[in-house]
Structure 1
Amino acid sequence: MDTALAIRARGIAKYFGDVVALDGVDLDVTQGQIHGLVGPNGAGKTTLLGLLLGLSVADRGTLEILGAPVGRALAVPEGVAGFVDGPGLYPSLTARQNLAALAALGGQDARGAGIDDALEQVGLTDVADDRARGFSLGMRQRLGLAAALLTRPRLLVLDEPSNGLDPAGKRHVHGVLSRLAADGTGVVLSSHRMDDLEALCSEVTILATGRVVFSGPPAKLTAENRELDYRLRTSDPEAARRIAAGTAGIRAVDDTGPVRQDTEVIVVRALGPALDELVVRIVQSGIALRELAPVVSPLEAAFLALTEQQTAPQEGGR
Structure 2
Amino acid sequence: MPDIIIEINGLTKTYGSKTAVKSMDLHIRRGEIVGLIGKNGAGKSTLLKMIAGLIHPTSGELHFFNRASANGQSFFERMGVLIEQAGLYSHYSAFENLKLLAIAYGLPDANTQINKLLKTVGLEDIGSVKVKSFSLGMKQRLGIAAALLGSPDVLLLDEPINGLDPQGIVEIRALIQELNKNGLTILISSHILEELSKIATQYAIIHKGEMVEVISADELLHKCEERIELKLEKAEAAIPVLERELKIADYKVFDANTLYVYDPGAEIRQISKTLIEHGVGIDSIYKYKQSLEQYFLARTEQAGERHA
C-alpha deviation, 1:277, in angstroms: 3.5
Q: Which whole-Å CA distance do the structure 2 matches of 1:129 and 1:189 have between them?
A: 30
2:30 aligned with 1:41, yes or no? no
| Paired amino acid for 1:183 | N
Q: Which whole-Å CA distance do the structure 2 matches of 1:273 and 1:125 have between them?
A: 47
Partner of 1:217: 216
Partner of 2:94: 95
Partner of 2:151: 152
Partner of 2:294: 301
Question: Do the aligned residues in 2 keep the contact of 1:64 with 1:70 (CA within 8 Å)?
Answer: yes
Inter-CA distance 304–207: structure 2 relative to 1 (3 Å threshold): same
C-alpha deviation, 1:196, in angstroms: 2.7
Q: Using CA pairs under 8 Å that are at least 6 residues apart, name the structure with larger relative contact order, 1 or 2.
A: 1
Give a deviation string over 1:219-268, Cα, whole Å, max 9, x none.
3234337989xxxxxxxxxxxxxxxxxxxxxxxxxxxxxxxxxxxxxxxx
Q: Which runs of 5+ in 2 are unaligned?
A: 228-259, 271-288
Give the secondary-structure state (helix, strand or coil) at the position aligned to 1:86.
Answer: coil
Q: Structure 1 length normalisation: TM-score? A: 0.71
Give a deviation string over 1:161-191, Cα, whole Å, max 9, x none.
1234445544443333223323332110101
C-alpha deviation, 1:4, in angstroms: 1.9
Inter-CA distance 81–225: structure 2 relative to 1 (3 Å threshold): closer
Question: Do the aligned residues in 1 keep the contact of 2:197 with 2:217 (CA within 8 Å)?
Answer: yes
Question: Do the aligned residues in 1 keep the contact of 2:33 with 2:180 (CA within 8 Å)?
Answer: yes
Question: Do the aligned residues in 2 keep the contact of 1:11 with 1:62 (CA within 8 Å)?
Answer: yes
Q: Which runs of structure 2 are paired with 1:11-22 in the superposition (5 Å)?
A: 11-22=10-21
Q: Which whole-Å CA distance do the structure 2 matches of 1:128 and 1:109 have between them?
A: 22
Moved more, 214-223 or 146-155: 214-223
Give a deviation string over 1:266-304, Cα, whole Å, max 9, x none.
xxxxx874875369x9xxxxxxxxxxxxxx983222111
Q: Which protein is bigger by CA-based radius of gyration?
A: 2
Question: Do the aligned residues in 1 keep the contact of 2:80 with 2:149 (CA within 8 Å)?
Answer: no
Matched residues, number: 255
Q: Which whole-Å CA distance do the structure 2 matches of 1:32 and 1:11 have between them?
A: 23
Give the secondary-structure state (helix, strand or coil) at the position aligned to 2:77.
Answer: coil
Q: Which whole-Å CA distance do the structure 1 matches of 2:10 and 2:109 have between them?
A: 41
C-alpha deviation, 1:109, in angstroms: 3.3
Give the secondary-structure state (helix, strand or coil) at the position aligned to 1:78.
Answer: helix
C-alpha deviation, 1:217, in angstroms: 0.6
Q: Structure 2 length normalisation: TM-score? A: 0.73
Moved more, 57-66 or 160-169: 160-169
Partner of 1:127: 126
